[in-house]
Structure 1
Amino acid sequence: MGAAPAASTTQPNLHTQTSSGDTAHTPWGRLLLLSAAAFTAVTTELLPSGLLPQISRDLRVEETSVGILTGAYALVIVFTALPLSRVLGGRVPRKNLLIATMFTFAVSNVLLACSPTLELAMAARLLGGIAHGMLWVGIAPYAARIVPEASVGKAMAIVFAGNSVALTAGAPVGTLMGSIMSWRLSFLLLAGIGLAISAVCIWLLPAAHDKDTKTSPSIFKAFRLPGVVAVVTAWPLLVLGHFTLFTYVAPFLHATGLPEEFTGALLSLVGGASLVGIWIAGRTADSYPRRSLLWTVAGLVTAFGLLPVLGGIGVAGPLLVALWGAAFGALGIYNQAAILRAGGEHKDAANSLSVVTIQLGISIGSAFGSMAMTLLGPQQVPLAAAIPVAAALAIIFVSRRSGYPAGPRESRS
């Protein structure tokens, strides 16, 4: 098919910028390229955790010190996402921002691979964290602008499938490569992928800068929208619940009587099932967003509630873990589409708010899981995880008019 036509100055709807001018056409190549960018970002974030022993030996520091490379990375995202959105939103063309982001990932990974000391490795990771914040601030609003408005949910499913592929394949393969050859080689390979994506972005992605809008993105105006408040509250609660258990899934599985070697397989099951959830969400997020999300969150509460009882019994445990993974994979798609719709003309600012609150949910989830481990024991951690998820379910249920309205094929009664 031919290249996308340039945006007309008399036609402000950026959703018309799809391939060959056909608003009903899904630009698969462009969305898969964005998915590859998401894959690179998540693999970059997770890879140090799998290579802690190798990095610590090479840099001659304790593993706990190397663990800071992951924690500091997340903190940078929290503190830079909103300022970057305010400074860059509406000013820098989105295509240029994505290209610069992937190039920054590449530079960060090269610097990390060449770092002789922990201090230089930390500096490289801080640069990567800035790139990560830039990517999450821009990638979803950009994807929403290159597809028809009725296909936003499907676009989110395609783009964020890269996250699940990174969990199930990217980080494990990078860890294996680092174990067999060198951890530095793993990060150099990631840098090469980032550079390749940058080059293809120049050729394949259309411009999607809001030249026609007279409204600058405003965090404060976005936060005053009731739908935005609902989503940036419920979504982090769901993430908090997930990471409450995910962070301590190994001791939980051990407490249920499952052998330690099952941990890796069940974590892969979570990632694989999340791809199924993303596929389902991609088919329902535009037409049945409210009903699908309510059933998905209810399924997650059920899985967490039953895992302490059935987690170590036959096939029940793997089935509940698969339900957990599928539900969590779908939740991201439904909520990403919801925040973009709720944000309206301030969708970029609303998306930035969600990035920050999600990162806080991840951090608080780990701490909440630690507290549950101490007070309740490892086998009851899923029950603790169910509490914030149930709270999110209540918020979603009462937000039928703003944050989580019915879709075009759902009854609005």
Structure 2
Amino acid sequence: MTSSQGDRKLRIGVTFGGSGLIGGTIVNYFKIKRPGIVDMRAPSSKKVSLRDCRDIREYLMSLKPDFVINTAIANIDSDSQLAFEVNYTGPLNIARAAAALKIPYIHFSSAATLPAGTDIEERDRVSFTPRMSNYAKSKLMAEKSLEFMSENENLDYTCIRLAVVYGSHDHKIQGFHRLMFAVADESMPFMFTRKNIYHSYSNSKKLPYLIHHMLDNREEFSGKTYNFVDPEPVELSDLILSIKSYLNLKAPREIYVPYPVARNGKRIMKSMLRLLTKIGLKASLPPELMFLNSFYRTQTLSCKKLQESSFVDPMPEETIYTRLPEMITYYLTRWSHQNLITTFDDTFEFDKSIKDDFKYNPEAILEAIHHDATAPFVEMTEENQKQTRFYG
């Protein structure tokens, strides 16, 4: 990875959206797994709003990084203004800044810009339609503008297109993790799909290795778009039943709900929720339901282009199935501690006496803690530091 800003030993990178699953994985890779290569910055949306061109321009101008990565997205059910500003003008202004600084820009897009079907290649994009979701429309606009800037403004960029993303440490319940949550929470009584419906999946754990390689090989990857998916697509019904089996649950029952029935059920639920708001109760359907039709149609992406590149898969044996036990343990432990679900038997059980005292007699815990567990950490005191320096 060569520096474009002089002879600095430690290169500076910027990741927008660093608090999400993808961005957090990238930041963790460069800070923990590959320390000493990149000083990775991940400004929060409060510090740098992608909706504010001046924020982007001033931040990147003051920092002068060696590369920039954008993983930030607006929620998939965002209104037109938020989707337009975060998913389109935000990436556009990052690209304008990157072009001005003459630094590489790694942009993340979505399979929402692609049609249904099998073995879909990078060039097989959908056309704009009036019924297109705000999310898909804004992501497609960003792809097209970055292509234009590559051809006309000398933008050095690479677009990585993701399918259904999976991985640990996603603090939001969305995408595949929403599906896992629905099964674990036993809120999916039947199968809302058909047999033989396949989708592609993207392993977030592998992404930092790809980005690292792309940054080291700009001549090969500049100005191109790549589908980043596992080679083998996954049948949705089999995945749902696998999660059910791991959790030893009775639901969902293997009864396949036809799409027209599921669609009408969604409409009825939306009407009921609107009525509830009139009496002061607020609730909403999961935003993923706006893509309900994708549960009933196949979309598998071709990864041939990436396989034919110089990038070598660092974990070729990993699939969503091999990572399923790890993800189930991680997410269900997290959701149990957040009181979101009660069906998971947490093997790392909270000590029962402490649990009972915390629930019924917190004063007893306070008394015990105050008796012998409130002293400053000795090894961190100034006196101890002086002694360590004297004797060490």
Question: Greater CA radius of gyration, 1 or 2?
Answer: 2
State if a TM-score over 0.5 links the two structures: no
TM range, smaller chain? under 0.3
Higher RCO (CA-CA < 8 Å; seq separation 6+): 1
- As a proportion of its length, which structure holds more helix? 1
TM-score (norm 1): 0.24
